Amino acid sequence: MNFALRIYRRLAEAFPHEFKLIYGTDVIQLGEDVVEQIAKQHGVAGLFRLIADIAIRVPIEYLSEMRRDMAYAIRALIKSPGFALVGIISLGLGMGVTTSVFSTLYAMLFRDLPGATDPKELVISQNPVSYYYVDQFREQRGLLAGAAAFQNGVPFNVGFEGNVNAKPERVFGHLVSPEYFAVLGIKAQRGRMLSAGVDKPGDAPVVVISDRFWRNRLNSAPDAVGRTLRLNGQTATIVGIAPKDFNGAMPMVPAELFVPTTVPAALAPELAGDVLHKRDAKEFIPLMRMAPGATQESVEAGLDTITRHLDDETVGAAGNAASSNNASKSDKTRRVSLLPGGNVVPVPRALKPVLLGFYAVLIGLILTIACMNLANMLLARGAARRKELAIRLAVGASRFRLVRQMMSEGILIALLGGAAGLAFAYWMSRLQSQMKLPMSVPMQLDYSLDWSAVLFSFALAIVCGVGFSLAPALQATKQDIAPTLKEGAGVQLRSYRLFGVRNLLVLGQIAGSLMLLLITGFLVLGFSRTGSAQTAFDANKMYVLSIDPVRDGYSAEKAQALFEELPERLRRLGAVRYVALAEQPPFSILGGSGSLTTKLDVGAAAVTLKSVARDKVGAGYFAALSEPVLGGREFEERDQRIDARTDGSKGVALPMILNQSAAHGLFGDANPVGRRITEDTQSYEVIGVVRDLKSGFVTGQSAAVMYLPLTRRDFAQPPAGGMTIMVRSDAGTDALGGIRREIASIDPNLAVFNVRTLAEYLDMSKAYMRIATNMYGGIGVFGLVLAAIGLAGVTAYAVARRRKEIGIRMALGSTKGQVLRLVLREGIVLVAVGTVLGLLGAIVMSRGLSALTDIFTQAFQTGASDPRLLIGAPLLLAGLAMLACYIPARRSAKIDPLKALREE
């Protein structure tokens, strides 16, 4: 019984202060009075009940106190909506950006490939290799547990059985070696996956479909396995459905079909020309699973050795081993570089910290500004409420209780800000996922919000809310209350301290927002400079459209004949002025970067230019774009008749056109026309130089571009986006009908797709940049506004606190101007110091980021050298800050000395 009473007393002590103050003794007294009676009447169960009763009541009382705190906080926030709104918006923006960016980043860098077994063991090679190489890789049991070859972004024109008349749909898939699914460790949802043991060359064509294909295009038909599809005009049987969410090994370019390399070339034109057995046909991406115990490093080193060996053999087979043998021995760079294959986006390991670093800096700045703003506001609020708190302390409120009440305000703002942030992040992810990238192959990035990121931001919001309200609450309640009450509104007047907490916060805010403004400004300016594609003619008058006859069932010869005939026929149409073929629409993002080396001249060292982008264009391409050829000539019909594969290996130099950047990089100011260039074993002759065409994007690659002619081989095997036909006519939109009719008159079954005007195409590519620009610009401007608000708050607070001092000064004869200067001086010092710090910080940071990766270098270089930004941004910030200072400072001049002094 005594033991029970002891516990009872302990629990009674645990009640919240206010409750204890009133009922504490009563509760204990009553317990003591009844405990005997209860023990007699109910025994141990009664004592247990007595304890249980009080044990339950304690948390209930706390909850009810908390509810009251919250209600009080809500009322307080409603009373000062400006304070609440700024706090919520600034936190919300910070949280929103953090959540959204980290969700995307996480999805790209860290999320495992959906469906794959032990994705950490998967690697892919950055450079494509030939099918034969992958077969050799597979034999390295010590290094690899499995290896498969695949091509991604392979288009198929798909027809559905029982629906012969419908135009085939263009669907993207992977062309995979039968080991593909075994290497990934993917199990079928229905039917079977491909496997090396079952699928042999010469079998009837089969195909595995993705879950998405099954749902969207076959309406989740239960009998889908066993049905047939028409793929590029050939029949293939569906043998299995891949598991949900599996969209191929590189889901950035989602694959809906998985076609084995055992199918005939008629079904997959990518297989034409016996590429599976050609050692030099480097057209497959190796997807490998590392052997137990092997590391990415050791596998890379091992495969590099094998690749060198195989390269030598391959070149040896071609007949000129001697020269390239020397070349290969002298180059020490790795020929194989592996990327983690188990992520959604294969990003090189080394790049991960860089990407993370950049976003961490950006987000850190935003969060810092948002939190500092909140901290500053809460601090100011805490200080402003000193008197109220002192009174409440004096009449017996517990310090804990007051602190809790002030904290609940911070928590409330944090929660609301977090909710606003979530809504903002959701909106951003929607916006991003609706964005269409101007690419011929559909790209898909996962912008959906990641729960861990949401949780992280929310936790951070709460920590900010609690932390920054706790500090001023403790500070405000710790003081000796007597002077506060005695002195009235004045409180103790502290001398001006440059390094006080509040001033440091404002300083940090100004410096931080200037840094943010400058960095985003660099990017925005850089983007707009490098990213404005311009045409020398009305882009509305050029149509860009694609056809892909091989996938409409054409034979290679028939397709070649079509492409030789088509431009001529289109040119004969009434208003048409130019017709040109190209691998992709002009101003596209160019891929396939290689490194070019000048041929050794007498007395001159060889120059190597790395990462030169490649584009294949047809005859008359530059004329169609009204781009002047600066030297030499552009491609003509006869260039298209050269066969790259056969002629190239005989040592015939293929014609090549360089853009100015590439020409300058390789030859300096010398005339490049007629010079020889090599890339690996292929040699080229420069026949012309053109201006740099600005693409719609900023890419990390240098602007050097090499143009190669489209050849008969390309016509027989058009790229993923089909063959692009550019038609420029004098007539406006009427021309399209004529073009369509003309193509239909050649073959009504030829599918024409991706039909746009060049203007529309450019808009698409600009839209992406526009969104990025707006977002970064918006972030920068918001940081600026936040800083201004913070500064205004601090100045207003300072004025309010110095009312009495100002009153005395004015009573003693200070003019309004003098008083204004006095108040403004503090603000000016803060602004000046903050601006200098911010400017330095931005420069250091942009240097650091450019040094880490070349992705931002270009944007930063163009942006950072812009005087508009370097001078304009600090001026803008300083101007705004001064305004933010001035408005509340003006109030100081309105202080009536009589009133201010009488307030005592």
Partner 1 sequence: MPEIDLQRFLPLKTQWFHIMLSLAGEGQHGYGIMQEVLERTGGKVRLWPATLYGSIKRLIEAGLIEESDERPAPELDDARRRYHRLTTLGRRVLDAESERLEALVHAIRIKRTTVLE
HSE of 21, CA atoms in CB hemisphere, 13 A: 8
Per DSSP, the chain holds a count of helices (H) and strands (E) of 28, 21
- Check residue 53 for interaction with partner 1 (CB under 8 A): yes
**Residue entry with tokens 């169609």:** 624
- Least CB distance from residue 450 to partner 1, whole Å? 43
- Check residue 10 for interaction with partner 1 (CB under 8 A): no
Our CB check for partner 1 shows the closer of 29 and 235 to be 29
- Please tell me the distance from the alpha carbon of residue 421 to that of residue 406, in angstroms, as a whole number: 22
- Least CB distance from residue 66 to partner 1, whole Å? 15
- Please tell me the distance from the alpha carbon of residue 258 to that of residue 210, in angstroms, as a whole number: 8
- Check residue 16 for interaction with partner 1 (CB under 8 A): no
Which DSSP string corresponds to 697-747? Answer: S--SS-S-EEEEE--HHHHHS--TT-EEEEEEESSSTHHHHHHHHHHHHH-
Q: Give the one residue of 56, 318, 604, 875 binding partner 1; rule: CB under 8 A.
A: 56
Q: From 53-61, 73-81, 809-817, 860-868, give the range in contact with partner 1 by CB under 8 A.
A: 53-61
- Check residue 57 for interaction with partner 1 (CB under 8 A): yes
Our CB check for partner 1 shows the closer of 65 and 446 to be 65
Q: Give the one residue of 50, 288, 380, 873 binding partner 1; rule: CB under 8 A.
A: 50
Other CB atoms within 10 A of residue 81 CB: 9
Give me the 643-682 binding string for partner 1, x by CB under 8 A, dash otherwise. ----------------------------------------
Q: How far is CA 452 from CA 457, 612, 786, 796, in A?
A: 9, 40, 27, 40
Our CB check for partner 1 shows the closer of 8 and 424 to be 8
Nearest CA among 866, 846, 588, 859 for reference residue 700: 859
Q: From 11-19, 121-129, 199-207, 794-802, give the range in contact with partner 1 by CB under 8 A.
A: 11-19
- Check residue 2 for interaction with partner 1 (CB under 8 A): no
Our CB check for partner 1 shows the closer of 51 and 657 to be 51
Q: From 27-35, 86-94, 188-196, 817-825, give the range in contact with partner 1 by CB under 8 A.
A: 27-35
Q: How far is CA 296 from CA 120, 144, 855, in A?
A: 10, 10, 25
- Least CB distance from residue 22 to partner 1, whole Å? 7
- Check residue 49 for interaction with partner 1 (CB under 8 A): yes
Q: From 48-56, 405-413, 518-526, 797-805, give the range in contact with partner 1 by CB under 8 A.
A: 48-56
Our CB check for partner 1 shows the closer of 10 and 645 to be 10
Our CB check for partner 1 shows the closer of 11 and 97 to be 11
Our CB check for partner 1 shows the closer of 25 and 326 to be 25
- Check residue 22 for interaction with partner 1 (CB under 8 A): yes
Other CB atoms within 10 A of residue 167 CB: 12
Which tokens sit at 718? 């058009």
Other CB atoms within 10 A of residue 158 CB: 22
- Please tell me the distance from the alpha carbon of residue 471 to that of residue 383, in angstroms, as a whole number: 11
- Check residue 60 for interaction with partner 1 (CB under 8 A): yes
- Check residue 36 for interaction with partner 1 (CB under 8 A): no
Q: How far is CA 478 from CA 66, 403, 474, in A?
A: 22, 10, 6
The percent of the chain in helix, strand and coil, each rounded to the nearest 5, is: 55, 15, 30
- Least CB distance from residue 398 to partner 1, whole Å? 16
- Please tell me the distance from the alpha carbon of residue 823 to that of residue 831, in angstroms, as a whole number: 13
Our CB check for partner 1 shows the closer of 75 and 650 to be 75
- Please tell me the distance from the alpha carbon of residue 102 to that of residue 421, in angstroms, as a whole number: 13
- Least CB distance from residue 402 to partner 1, whole Å? 20
- Check residue 61 for interaction with partner 1 (CB under 8 A): yes
- Check residue 426 for interaction with partner 1 (CB under 8 A): no
Q: Give the one residue of 2, 41, 163, 745 binding partner 1; rule: CB under 8 A.
A: 41
CA end-to-end span of the chain, whole Å? 60
Our CB check for partner 1 shows the closer of 68 and 825 to be 68
- Least CB distance from residue 60 to partner 1, whole Å? 7
- Least CB distance from residue 52 to partner 1, whole Å? 8
Q: How far is CA 166 from CA 156, 157, 160, 230, in A?
A: 15, 12, 8, 12
- Check residue 54 for interaction with partner 1 (CB under 8 A): yes
Our CB check for partner 1 shows the closer of 1 and 322 to be 1
- Check residue 359 for interaction with partner 1 (CB under 8 A): no
Find how far residue 859's CA is from the centre of its chain: 16
**Residue entry with tokens 């016509």:** 715
- Check residue 58 for interaction with partner 1 (CB under 8 A): yes
- Please tell me the distance from the alpha carbon of residue 756 to that of residue 743, in angstroms, as a whole number: 16
Which amino acid is residue 269, in one-letter code? P
- Check residue 19 for interaction with partner 1 (CB under 8 A): yes
- Least CB distance from residue 75 to partner 1, whole Å? 17
Q: From 58-66, 218-226, 234-242, 536-544, give the range in contact with partner 1 by CB under 8 A.
A: 58-66
- Least CB distance from residue 12 to partner 1, whole Å? 8
Q: From 22-30, 77-85, 338-346, 834-842, give the range in contact with partner 1 by CB under 8 A.
A: 22-30
Which residues sit opposite 288 in a β-bridge? 123, 147
Our CB check for partner 1 shows the closer of 27 and 428 to be 27
- Check residue 25 for interaction with partner 1 (CB under 8 A): yes
Q: Give the one residue of 6, 10, 30, 309 binding partner 1; rule: CB under 8 A.
A: 30
- Please tell me the distance from the alpha carbon of residue 462 to that of residue 292, in angstroms, as a whole number: 44
Our CB check for partner 1 shows the closer of 36 and 734 to be 36
Which DSSP string corresponds to 160-221? Answer: ETT--SSPPEEEEEEEE-TTHHHHHTPPPSEE----TTT--TTSPPEEEE-HHHHHHHHTT-
DSSP class of 646: H
Which tokens sit at 330? 């002298």
- Check residue 63 for interaction with partner 1 (CB under 8 A): no
Our CB check for partner 1 shows the closer of 3 and 499 to be 3
Our CB check for partner 1 shows the closer of 14 and 731 to be 14
- Check residue 62 for interaction with partner 1 (CB under 8 A): no
- Please tell me the distance from the alpha carbon of residue 470 to that of residue 404, in angstroms, as a whole number: 8
Residue 264 phi/psi, 5° resolution?
A: -70, 155
- Least CB distance from residue 70 to partner 1, whole Å? 16
- Least CB distance from residue 30 to partner 1, whole Å? 4
Q: Give the one residue of 1, 10, 13, 26 binding partner 1; rule: CB under 8 A.
A: 26
Which tokens sit at 393? 């302390």
Q: Give the one residue of 1, 6, 34, 815 binding partner 1; rule: CB under 8 A.
A: 34
Q: Give the one residue of 29, 320, 608, 646 binding partner 1; rule: CB under 8 A.
A: 29
User: What pairing do the DSSP bridges indicate for beta strands 682-690 and 654-659?
Assistant: parallel
Nearest CA among 521, 516, 381, 419 for reference residue 93: 419
Q: From 17-25, 351-359, 736-744, 796-804, give the range in contact with partner 1 by CB under 8 A.
A: 17-25
Nearest CA among 645, 660, 697, 651 for reference residue 678: 651
Count of residues touching partner 1 (by CB under 8 A): 23
Our CB check for partner 1 shows the closer of 61 and 692 to be 61
Residue 248's contacts (CB-CB under 8 Å, 6 or more residues apart) are: 152, 173, 174, 210, 254, 255, 258
- Check residue 47 for interaction with partner 1 (CB under 8 A): no
Residues that bind partner 1 (CB under 8 A): 11-12, 19, 22-23, 25-27, 29-31, 33-34, 41, 49-50, 53-54, 56-58, 60-61
